[in-house]
Structure 1
Amino acid sequence: MPVWPFKRSKADIDAKRLLEAVTQTSRQPALFGEGRIPDTLEGRFELMALNASLALIRLREAQGVESLAQAFTDKLFRLWDAGLREDGVGDLVVPKRMRKLAASFYGRLSAYGEALTSPEALATVIARNVFAAEAHAFAPALAAYAARTAETQAGGELDALFTSEGWPAYQG
């Protein structure tokens, strides 16, 4: 007899698969290191925010997946909440940090969505958000990776988002 009498929704199951795909692609070692994204909590957040933004931009284009987009966003923020707690952030401070993370994420989502049409604009937005600079040597390469990923996702089936097929590897 099952412990929990309720069945998980398809949106919840797909959101979990999407979060796993976003997490996996955000852990590509080739993206981190000297001259690239710093392998820090902030650097990992930035890459995860970029990839999660790409996923949500793709979901916006699809019809009838609002519940999937919401479930994915909920799971993403729960993951970040757990990460803060594991990093030793106290229970009283977590809500304040989560509000700041949410504002940062939604700002990035909007900026990346607007800049995807121009490689130069995307590189500028990435430099500003990921590297806190007007320009960075790795920003154009990261922008090209993000644009290629968005193009792959736009041209493919929605189900590809849940697999490595929808997330091309970084080709430094």
Structure 2
Amino acid sequence: MGLLALFRRKPMERPGFLLYTAAVTAARDPWFFGPAIGVPDTLDGRFDLVGLHVGVLIRRLHRDPDPRGAEAAQAVFDAMFSDMDMNLREMGVGDMSVGKRVKRMWEAFHGRAQAYAAALDAGDRAALEAALARNVFRASGPDAAAAIGAPALAAHAERVAQALSAQPTAALLRGEASFPPTPGAAAAAASPDAA
């Protein structure tokens, strides 16, 4: 491998970044942090929402019969953790501990993404709600999911999965992903005061 190969971009690097950016934008909707859902507006809460949207996106890409789907999924993952690394550094986390924190974040994301994908693949809403209650809301016990916003968040995750599965592979491979609006965004758009 020549020296120039070190500086070449990977073919899916830009689309992966664009897809990741779309997932982050979707995860920042204020509806998630309001009374309907009640996700804590903290670093952990924001990380969990980004992880949910990215996880569902990566699941879609991995399920695609086009082998470039897996490459795009890896590019989204790489963009996410490059962003996490940069954000930690900007927050003043020391160089010596950034790697350890990113590794813990990777492990947390991986476990959550697997749990969400398994529930979505099985069409098991109860399992999805339980995983969201446990991870996003840090709740435990059999009744925890019903007492918080996990049911509404699970319904949203299912809408995201359906919307992404309907999008053409070619668009995703160009970095174009459209996440469905949240009920809060849809209500705001329908309001006569929205203009």
TM-score (norm: length of structure 2)? 0.79
- SS of residue in 2 equivalent to 1:93: helix
Residue 193 of structure 2 corresponds to none
Residue 46 of structure 1 corresponds to 48
Quote the offset at 1:42 in angstroms: 0.6
Quote the offset at 1:140 in angstroms: 0.3
- SS of residue in 2 equivalent to 1:77: helix
Deviations 1:63-82 (A, max 9, x none): 21222222221111010111
Determine which of 144, 152, 165 is the counterpart of 2:155: 144
Aligned length: 168
Contact 1:12 1:71 in 2 (8 A): yes
Quote the offset at 1:156 in angstroms: 2.3
Cα distance change on mapping 1:123 and 1:86 into 2, 3 Å: same
Question: Where does 1:11-160 land on structure 2 (aligned, <5 Å)?
Answer: 11-34=12-35, 36-62=38-64, 63-65=66-68, 66-116=70-120, 117-134=123-140, 135-136=144-145, 137-158=148-169, 159=171
- SS of residue in 2 equivalent to 1:92: helix
CA distance in 2, matches of 1:145, 1:27: 14
CA distance in 1, matches of 2:80, 2:133: 23
- SS of residue in 2 equivalent to 1:131: coil
CA distance in 2, matches of 1:157, 1:7: 27
- SS of residue in 1 equivalent to 2:136: helix
Quote the offset at 1:154 in angstroms: 1.3
Contact 2:15 2:176 in 1 (8 A): no
Contact 2:19 2:172 in 1 (8 A): no
Amino acid in structure 1 at the alignment position of 2:81: F
Quote the offset at 1:52 in angstroms: 0.5
RMSD: 2.0
Unmatched 5+ stretches in structure 2:
185-195
Q: Percent identity among equivalent residues? A: 38
Q: Decide which structure has the larger Cα Rg and report it.
A: 2
Deviations 1:2-60 (A, max 9, x none): xx997644411211210111111111111113551111111110000000100110001
Residue 183 of structure 2 corresponds to 171
Contact 1:33 1:39 in 2 (8 A): no
TM-score (norm: length of structure 1)? 0.89
Residue range with higher mean Cα deviation, 7-16 or 127-136:
7-16
